[in-house]
Structure 1
Amino acid sequence: MLSTVARRDQILQAVQEQRKVRVSRLAQHFGVSAVTIRTDLRAMTSAGLLARQHGGARLVGEAVPEAPLSEKRVIHRDRKLRIAARAAQLVAPDDKLILDAGSTTLMLSQRLPGGMPLTVFTNSLPIANGLNHAAGMRLIVSGGTLRQASQSLQGPQAEASLQSLFFDKLFLGADGFDPDFGLSTHDMADARLNARMVEHARQVIVLADGSKFGRLCLHLICGLENVHTVISDATMPMAMRAALSARGIEILIAEDE
């Protein structure tokens, strides 16, 4: 049987595709009770993506649109720089790292300690270009198809690049971070690759400024049971900090430098 997170992700996809869903059909499809489905729909309505209607729910609006990397670099830039600096403090000599493609992970790559022996795997072209001549660096770049919006590589070749590799730490960005749904992003291929990264890392460290919390995107990366540490800034909601701490997730708040 699917987990609650996976089931709700599939319900969200069904609503996006069909514009509306019915409790009875969802209960039959997932093999759960109507009460369970109604609980799912209430949670999704509270998150702002669905509107309840008699016997089911409908779509109320589109998912948050994705900005290209060039725009993401300047949105909440000061917050992201502080988060990147705090994340760099977690890097130790001889660490084997995965740096996901994203604006905050790009800033982290620019803050890695110079000359420290490290192995870095990335699917980001800007990160790879920046680390290409770094002293002491063993750089592994995934294969795959270029996605222009994020300047990243994705697809089956990118996923296969992780085969037989295992890493100490994954530094992962996310477009959406919801305590019930987990981490989400705009693109299906990105979500699949991110999920594979999670499977191949001993520690998953999420870099997310305060604007990402409570947001949902269409494609699920993973549930929060896979997350070990979250690095955010002072705008992270206190209720979210408490909810994540209660689940055993370490919260690090990047302070002003």
Structure 2
Amino acid sequence: MPARTWRGACMPELPEVETTRRGIAPHVEGREIREIIVRQPRLRTPVPDDLADTLVGHRIGELGRRAKYLLMPVGAGTLLWHLGMSGSLRLARLGDLPRKHDHVDLVLEGGAILRYHDPRRFGFVDWLQGSPLDDPRLARLGPEPLSPDFDGERLYRLSRKRRVAVKPFLMDNAVVVGVGNIYASEALFLAGIDPRRAAGRISRERYERLAEAARDVLAAAITQGGTTLRDFVSGTGEPGYFAQRLNVYGRHDAPCRRCGELLRLVTLGQRASVFCPHCQR
């Protein structure tokens, strides 16, 4: 089951991680781990030395996701995966030779292999005992953008007296998780909000439109399999196709799809931001 390589230019965001979860879940849930092969333990968080001793012989439970973290219950704990900037989880079979940057294999009953690939090694796999939501990396996160806990009222309330630009405010994981650079750009375009505008100077009504736009763009991206990125492919080796519908991200100096004016590129919070100076105010 060889994985395809796909070229683009960003890191996996929430829809890509959710696409990965949905893609690999039918192939790994309920399967017993027969062997763990670690070729490169020096990831962002070092792979635990005793991972094989802890997990071999246990079955994988129902996969979950929190923000951009993939949660894999195994035995009395949880494997916590993060894809970093270039990571992917792919399905392989016994006999499929590992490629360069294939760092960790979970060999499952029936011959399937869950293979972690990460050229930059900014991702990780870690083992947590107890509830994963108590881990400091997850405990302070804001609500999921598709949950009832996220709405325009929350954005309005948390933004009062904030001078930070609205785009980095929307990308703050304490405000809401998973609205990364691509999807924040697209949501602000759909809501007609200039990404440079101070978060504290936006009305409740406009935040209601922004929250709805963020939900819509993320739901659409998940449905379509994520955004096509440089290194991202789904768990079955298929790339995402949401990039075909992007309105502003990556399109600076191109005409706005809505009004025809040239899109502009600025830097906000050390991230490139593209917007339409006519449609976004």
Normalised by the length of structure 2, the TM-score is 0.28
Q: Tell me which protein shows more helix as a share of its residues.
A: 1
Larger radius of gyration: 2
Q: Tell me which protein shows more strand as a share of its residues.
A: 1
